[in-house]
Amino acid sequence: MLDQADPEMDLRALVEESEDFTVDTRVYTSPAIFDAEMRRIFLRTWVYVGHESEIPNPGDFRTSAVGRVPVIVTRDQTGAFHVLVNTCRHRGTVVCREERGNARFFQCPYHNWLYRNDGRLVQIPDSSGYPEGWAGRIGGLLEAPRIAVLYGMIFANFSQAGPSFDEYLGPLRRYVEYWFGHSPTGRVQVLAPFRASYPGNWKLQVENSTDGWHARYVHESALRTMHHFGTRSPAVGWPGATRAFPSGHGVLERPRDDLPPEVQPQFESFRSLLAETYGAEHAEAMFVRRQITLFPSFHLMEFKFRVIQPVAVDQTVIYEFPVRLEGVPDDVNAAILHRITREISISSGGPVSSFVNADDVEAFARVQSGLADSPVERIYFSRGLHREVIAPDGERTGESSDELPQRSIYREWRRLMHE
């Protein structure tokens, strides 16, 4: 579709890396590019669709999406996961409209075709209207051919080709292990999400989740308020680091130095618990605030999952799911929830209902309107390009204000869009 819309468009040239790293502004504004992204990126790589704690029992399901493909994530009667396309095989109706539930069967409301929770078509009303065995030829709801589960996170891949999940994760695995290691059992329970939407392209939030540079500017009023209440010092220097990986992943890490006084005792005992569990050195490496991008649309934030849902080229929904850690005392989980739902709601990385998120989505909306019909053709992600350090396994490291994770996003974006 992209090629038909604009046969002259050189996809590789949309992202250019030489002495500068620039991106063509049409990646935010072109409906044809957006359509191509949904197919070439979302249907060809690993996409987060849900967490096993949301569907703990046989028959549990939740609805979700892969790009704009609506899916039902189910646990069948044997306990196996399925990611089913939520589109009736008869004439295309969305089969399941519920967000979550428990069902052995899904019945399409239009002509009552009945599917089992593993996707198989099991009944067509008055099937004498078809030749013998006809339903068997249909099979059932389409299903993602590849699924991977890591720390309960369920990822779907609609392509048989391409890297395995382990290859896709690559050296990022270590940082994902640190993140989930905050639970001594490595298990978390995902709670109900916050939601927000904004009139801007989906990649604006993906870029922002590991952007260490913007906070002290765009969130200045929120941070000053924090300072006023004594819960955060003014930013000095750029402590922490950025990291970037093959497959589009990235990390922003900073010291966890913004804890409000009322939860500091619980966080101290939390830290001691981790030191007992892993040893002091490993616990120190873990006990860092890390915001991790799993390209294309999933982030591990400060004790939250953040899921980006593209809706249209200039319309996006954000979901943030707080997590409850297994294997830590209740007062620690309460302190974590306090931090992310109240205190941090006026601090960086807060829930989407917060002041901070309002600042960010306002910035995204201004980018979107700034680029619409603008003569500005390219934007810059060059900060820190000259000081990237590249390890043999492909991990790149930069300073915490560098646009290193953003470059990682667009390197993989270009690869998937072009290949």
Does residue 142 bind ligand FES (CB under 6 A)? no
Taking the C-alpha atoms of residue 335 and residue 329, their distance in angstroms, rounded to an integer, is 10
Name beta bridge partners: 307.
298, 319
Answer yes or no: are the C-beta atoms of 73 and 117 closer than 8 Å: no
| Helices H / strands E in the chain, number of each | 14, 23
360 binds, among ligand FES, Fe ion, none (CB under 5 to 8 A by kind): Fe ion
Residues with Cβ within 8 Å of residue 264, at least 6 apart in sequence: none
Distances (CA, A) of 369 to 28, 215, 297, 358: 10, 21, 22, 16
111 binds, among Fe ion, ligand FES, none (CB under 5 to 8 A by kind): ligand FES
**Site residues for ligand FES, window 233-252 (CB under 6 A)?**
none
88 binds, among ligand FES, Fe ion, none (CB under 5 to 8 A by kind): ligand FES
CB of 207 to ligand FES, least distance (A): 39
Structural Rg of the chain based on CA atoms: 22
Tell which one of 27, 43, 65, 88 touches ligand FES (CB under 6 A). Answer: 88
Summarize as ranges the residues that interact with Fe ion (CB under 5 A).
Answer: 360
Select 141 or 416, whichever has its Cβ closest to ligand FES.
141
The span of 45-53, 66-74, 89-97, 367-375 binding ligand FES (CB under 6 A) equals: 89-97
Residues with Cβ within 8 Å of residue 133, at least 6 apart in sequence: none
Select 88 or 274, whichever has its Cβ closest to ligand FES.
88
Site string for ligand FES, 96-115 (x = CB under 6 A): ------------x-xx-x--
**In the numeric block, which tokens belong to residue 53?**
């704690």
CB of 128 to ligand FES, least distance (A): 16
Select 207 or 360, whichever has its Cβ closest to Fe ion.
360
Name beta bridge partners: 23.
15, 379
233: nearest Cα among 267, 263, 260: 260
CB of 1 to ligand FES, least distance (A): 25
Q: Measure the CA dihedral 186/351/217/240, to 10°.
A: -10
**In the numeric block, which tokens belong to residue 240?**
């922490």
CB of 65 to ligand FES, least distance (A): 19
Does residue 318 bind ligand FES (CB under 6 A)? no
93 binds, among ligand FES, Fe ion, none (CB under 5 to 8 A by kind): ligand FES
Answer yes or no: are the C-beta atoms of 233 and 227 closer than 8 Å: yes
Taking the C-alpha atoms of residue 322 and residue 191, their distance in angstroms, rounded to an integer, is 5
CB of 86 to ligand FES, least distance (A): 11
**Which residues of this chain interact with ligand FES, rule CB under 6 A?**
88, 90-91, 93, 108, 110-111, 113
